[in-house]
Homo-oligomer: A and B are copies of this chain.
Amino acid sequence: MRYTTAGESHGPEEIAIIEGVPSGLHITQEDVNEQLSRRQHGYGRGERQKIETDTVTFLTGVRHQLTLGSPITLNVHNDDHNSWSKIMAPNDVATSENTLRKVLRPRPGHADLVGGMKYRHQSDLRNVLERSSARETTMRVAVGAVAKKILAEIGVDVHGFVVNIGPAKSDLSTLTQYKNLQELREVTENFKTRALDATADAAMRDVIDKAKRDANTVGGQVQVIATGMPVGLGSYVSADEKLDGKIARAIVGINAFKGVQFGGGFDNSEKYGDEIMDEIFWDATKGFYRGTDNLGGFEGGMTTGEAILVRGVVKPIPTLYRPMKSVDIDTHKEHRASIERSDTTAVTAAAVIAEAMVAIELAKSVLDKFDSDNIDRMKEQVAQYREEIRAF
């Protein structure tokens, strides 16, 4: 499975094409819309999420709610485009009238300045920010929804939630009380911040409120958990086959993510070997298993069968309503940075995006290993493989 996204933030359409989805997978537009909605809602999101309700249209690759095996095109219309149709017009020559709202004072932390240099967009940094905008992550969530449908067919579940927003933190020790991700999902999805507990949710809302009052922004950390993956996806034989490495790239490739870790991650660097490794046990019913999951579901770049635990860190949104120092690229004079409409925090949405990216990488790894032409044939193979592993 490979995919490509396209679209500018105020252009007419966001598009994604996914290749390599097995034929025969049941999927509806509602399956995707449900995930798009999760991305749009969250405490601290700004006006745009109220203007638009993202809904997907399947342009290709699906017939009668079943995938064809051919490339699938997902299309989300930008309702907001109406106000921008001249400024973003593809087929009209630039005039004084349709080049309003130029951006010439790059925002620190955004791609504006460097993107302008790289692509020679001196006349208007809008040519950068329309694409570098996190609007693009809409399509990654849409692709992730397809990935999650594939994974669901083989009993893999994936869920993301918020660890902290600024100084306000979820109580991670409560995680052990959930039997499965569905139970966890029902809790975290009911908090406006996607926190793990009510106390944290309230504290996070306070942090967001404060940041908003200060015309500031705030970041945080998100956690994604995946359960039910077959053992032995990814490989140690070559470094670029390691599945955790692929997930790391996918997470850091999300707008604003500045780091990723697995299992205990950075905290484990202060511990000793015998505190960290997950000991090995065997049981006639389930075969080999572990008692702990300190390594976050990976050994040697391969899935161990334990839950996959991925943490990402999200920097604050760089657009500040009380802007930071910048320089006008025309005059080279110091100016405060431009302002584009923006949110106070995107951490709550980031949990959904990170979940999507993990789902995409897991689905890819499954489709790579097994015959992925048809979903039923794939399921048959996965079942046989699981039985083989159980009997090892």
- Which residues of chain A (346-392) have a CB below 8 Å from chain B? 369-371, 373-374, 376-377, 380-381, 384-385, 388-389, 392
A interface size (C-beta, 8 A): 161
| A235 close to B118 (CB less than 8 A) | yes
- Which one, B60, B121, B263, B377, contacts A13 given CB within 8 A? B60
Q: Is the CB of A98 within 8 A of B313?
A: no
- Residues from chain B with Cβ under 8 Å of A242 in the complex: 252-253
Within the complex, the shortest CB–CB distance from A286 to chain B, in Å, comes to 12
* A274 CB to nearest B CB, Å: 6
Copies of this chain, how many? 4
The answer for the CA separation of A249 and B250 in the assembled complex, in Å, is 8
**B23-A113 in contact (CB<8A):** no
Contact of A119 among B23, B217, B313 (CB under 8 A): B23
Q: Are A24 and B272 in contact (CB under 8 A)?
A: no
Distance, CA A313 to CA B266, complexed state (A): 6
Question: Is the pair A261, B259 in contact by a Cβ cutoff of 8 Å?
Answer: yes
* A89 and B71 in contact, given A118-B302, A258-B261, A273-B317 (Cβ under 8 angstroms): no
Instruction: Evaluate contact between B268 and A295: CB separation under 8 angstroms.
Output: no
Is the CB–CB distance between B7 and A60 below 8 Å? yes
Expressed in whole angstroms, the Cα–Cα distance for A167 and B93 within the complex equals 49
Question: Min CB distance, A355 to chain B, in Å?
Answer: 15
**Which of A39-47, A184-192, A320-328 touches B?**
A320-328
Do residues A238 and B71 form an inter-chain contact, with CB atoms below 8 A? Answer: yes
What is the CA–CA distance of A258 and B376 in the complex, to the nearest angstrom?
Answer: 33
